[in-house]
Structure 1
């Protein structure tokens, strides 16, 4: 019985390595290895920009210019746009416009890419704004952002966007693009007003003034209270008590108002992203 069993195994092994069975096995192994290498190959996936102030067609057209240069700048293959859009369609990145690290990481996992790009495109008051977020498996857990703010005609903005594609991929910008650049028509005041550091400085300055006023008036109210206590010890009916009470109450009111300004300015900075902008 044992000999018959061993003979059966031998016959099946022989069949496996001869004839059509061996060819089929070889094809299966080759296909499996090809799929494995294809999955492991480095790739770049870009989610179409979320547009505001532009039609869907305008947003897509501008985005296509960006993708055209991205393909030239990337050493790795770019995933098909339709496949990427389908993979992330139900994720918070798209449904909730969430560009936090967790949302971007979920999208990168869904498309199985080494590099994921996603961002926003806004147009208002003749000014274009773009912010692109990048996640790279070579720098896990980190999100890098790139920004453009451009005031001028569409051609000038598209050139800046094409240049951005090369910068995102860490490549030197081609001379043909630098030669096409048009001056940004933003005024100096606009550049300062929209500079993240200027915004932070303004918020912190207001908060600082409020905090300083709060401390000063709190100390003043405390000093007035001491004067009131001293006067009451010597003469409860002293006419100066009323004046000090008015001074104390006024200082307290100003202190509370100053505290509100401090808290309000810091809250504004937090909820509008002034302190989180790069």
Structure 2
């Protein structure tokens, strides 16, 4: 009967609430603080959860508090919640990208059990992946609670070294945008060859969906699957040789490195708050 409060009722909070309800959580144990009246009404109507305009009311008796807000919003809410959280000491889950555990401890109090989470947007359809990192005050039971909440929208993996959370953000947090960019490029390339755009989009989308399922369900390395569909001197090899000539692995590595650095920079900017 864990009581869970959400600060922020946006898309990620909605996906988590919907996933929790599907796994058997009672709507009466879920509360949401959301400043927009229209969003509060939609949450109450769609999920039957209690909603509040006031953050303190929503979190008064919470066992778990989910901070589902943008990183820039975080410093504006800690002042009103710090006393309540220090008194009740709930498990604090933060899904704010780039916000470090030590920053959360400074803002909300050093005695809190905190789990930093990095989900991604496919969580909106129950197909997400989330990296989790806990501070030493998180008990084994609380780790299970955190994992249960994020498991409701996809796959979870614990990260022991928090320094790698910026890499999690760069790979899986930002990764869906890379994927969409590749599908977009495939579509445009087919259109440039004379194919109707609608047909090109269906071919590119379904090909990527099928390849993703093969990778997820086969338990084989992507290199193995790539080699299996590459006939010597065939069309696939010609395309892959073009990728190699354009240094695709280096392009991807530079992109991930750039995203990782940007995550670090965003966290550093919050240190000034």
TM-score (norm 1): 0.30
TM score, norm. by length of structure 2: 0.30
